């Protein structure tokens, strides 16, 4: 086995990962799978690449892992350049300070749980010489992920969730500076996914390992991450905390992808110097905040964005609706969903979705008033 070519240690004041202007075109084609990808991951952070199928998440992760060679750009880890297209520097995957948890777990079926966990300490980048140490460290991490009792079991005799935990334990035992996870929960059923995402986040915090996670599941991204990068068609749409993405989406794509959003096209409007937009739409006039970098003046495009939970459906003669300018609308769909009711209404040639606490008091065909308060909507310029 070849000797370790690079020793990386992340100095405390350095970002764990810095990606600059990364672009990748496959097979010499002109079409870029990813382009202009620039971001930083501070040490100990959990950062997620989120976006629909084909937007370039896996390509970005594989470039960082050194499994794909980017066409342009630069990647640093802990201050060391591991890839630079212009100087043709390209550190091999096995010499980058990473460990990867793939979608398919990558567990070796001909080994026991303990042998799988111990593998990186015997053959990986950071080898451990003492056999006793290897066993102690492996058992310690297996204990932490709840697999110590299964140490001598064949790895194929684990459930999907247990195999996932073993894959994580083995990756942690590589002692990586950066943990890369590519949709690691996607093969599990919905309930287990929810449980394991909480556990995974807990392990990540416990071990303090910088993590880069890929998913197309927005709930997973919001629940687990310190920072989320929303990608669309090979580019970055927004980089923000889960709260900021939800409350202050900067594009209509982000607004619609994170949770759900009513996007009401504006016909004309005015951006005031205070950052407030007064917008006329087919549904009525709105006075709303903007997070877009809108210069004061007349507006002819963009959207008023309102989350379904901020669209109130009230009886036509409700006092609040009358006092606060409720809009007359007709119910087109109404469902009781247990913890809430989902109601669609037709108004101004559009369908608006509402999500409110129960009980369900309306049915399709009912005339209602719809109320969206100024503080509950946002202007987006695209």
Ligand X SMILES: Nc1ncnc2c1ncn2[C@@H]1O[C@H](COP(=O)(O)OP(=O)(O)OP(=O)(O)O)[C@@H](O)[C@H]1O
In three-state secondary structure terms, 243 is helix
Nearer to ligand X, 26 or 108 (CB): 26
Least spacing, CB of residue 263 vs ligand X, in Å = 23
Residue 306 burial class via C-beta count within 10 angstroms: exposed 0-12, middle 13-18, buried 19 and up = buried
123 binds ligand X, rule: CB under 6 A: no
First to last CA, the chain: 54
54 binds ligand X, rule: CB under 6 A: yes
Least spacing, CB of residue 222 vs ligand X, in Å = 17
48 binds ligand X, rule: CB under 6 A: no
> Do you find a cis peptide bond into 315, omega within 30 degrees of 0?
no
**Binder of ligand X out of 10, 17, 33, 347 (CB under 6 A):** 33
229 binds ligand X, rule: CB under 6 A: no
309 secondary structure, DSSP code = G
How far is the C-alpha of 24 from the C-alpha of 35, rounded, in Å?
7
- Beta strands 210-215 and 178-182: pairing type? parallel
55 binds ligand X, rule: CB under 6 A: yes
**Binder of ligand X out of 45, 59, 163, 210 (CB under 6 A):** 59
Size of interface with ligand X, in residues (CB under 6 A): 12
310 binds ligand X, rule: CB under 6 A: no
Least spacing, CB of residue 59 vs ligand X, in Å = 3
Least spacing, CB of residue 242 vs ligand X, in Å = 19
Nearer to ligand X, 66 or 120 (CB): 66
57 binds ligand X, rule: CB under 6 A: yes
Contact 145, 184 (CB under 8 A): no
In 3D space, the residue among 335, 332, 326 whose CA is nearest the CA of residue 371 turns out to be 326
Contact 40, 70 (CB under 8 A): no
What are the backbone angles phi and psi of residue 165, rounded to the nearest 5°? -65, -35
How far is the C-alpha of 332 from the C-alpha of 344, rounded, in Å?
5
78 binds ligand X, rule: CB under 6 A: no
**Binder of ligand X out of 26, 108, 123, 336 (CB under 6 A):** 26
**CA geometry: angle 270, 379, 333, nearest 5 deg:** 125
100 binds ligand X, rule: CB under 6 A: no
50 binds ligand X, rule: CB under 6 A: no
**Binder of ligand X out of 193, 216, 250, 307 (CB under 6 A):** 216
Nearer to ligand X, 57 or 165 (CB): 57
Residues of this chain that bind ligand X (CB under 6 A): 26-27, 33, 51, 53-59, 216
């Amino acid at each position: 086995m070849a000797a370790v070519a690079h020793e990386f240690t992340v100095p405390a004041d350095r970002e764990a990962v810095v990606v600059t202007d990364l672009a990748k075109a496959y097979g010499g084609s002109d079409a870029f799978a990813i382009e202009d990808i620039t971001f930083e991951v501070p040490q100990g952070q959990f950062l997620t690449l989120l976006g629909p199928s084909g937007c370039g998440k896996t390509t970005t992760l594989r470039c960082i892992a050194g499994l794909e060679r980017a066409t342009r750009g630069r990647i640093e880890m802990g201050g060391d350049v591991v890839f630079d297209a212009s100087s043709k520097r390209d550190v091999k995957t096995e010499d980058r300070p990473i460990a990867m948890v793939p979608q398919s777990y990558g567990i070796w079926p001909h080994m026991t749980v303990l042998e799988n966990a111990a593998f990186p300490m015997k053959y990986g980048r950071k080898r451990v010489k003492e056999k006793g140490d290897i066993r102690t460290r492996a058992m310690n991490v297996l204990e932490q992920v709840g697999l110590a009792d299964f140490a001598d079991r064949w790895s194929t005799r684990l459930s999907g969730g247990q195999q996932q935990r073993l894959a994580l334990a083995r990756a942690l035992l590589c002692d990586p500076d950066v943990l890369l996870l590519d949709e690691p929960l996607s093969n599990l059923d919905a309930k287990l996914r929810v449980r394991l995402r909480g556990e995974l986040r807990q392990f990540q915090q416990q071990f303090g390992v910088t993590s880069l996670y890929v998913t197309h599941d927005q709930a997973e991204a919001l629940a687990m991450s310190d920072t989320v990068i929303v990608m669309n068609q090979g580019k970055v749409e927004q980089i923000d905390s889960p709260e900021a993405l939800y409350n202050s989406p900067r594009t209509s794509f982000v607004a619609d992808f994170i949770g759900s959003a009513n996007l009401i096209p504006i016909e004309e409007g005015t951006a005031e110097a205070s950052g407030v937009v007064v917008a006329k739409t087919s549904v009525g006039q709105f006075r709303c905040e903007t997070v877009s970098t809108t210069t004061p003046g007349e507006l002819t495009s963009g959207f008023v964005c309102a989350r379904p939970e901020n669209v109130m459906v009230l009886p036509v003669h409700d006092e609040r609706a009358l006092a606060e300018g409720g809009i007359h609308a007709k119910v087109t769909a109404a469902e009781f969903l247990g913890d809430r009711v989902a109601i669609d209404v037709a108004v101004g040639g559009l369908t608006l979705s509402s999500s409110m606490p129960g009980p369900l008091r309306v049915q399709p065909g009912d005339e209602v008033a719809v109320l969206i308060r100024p503080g509950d909507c946002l202007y987006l310029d695209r």
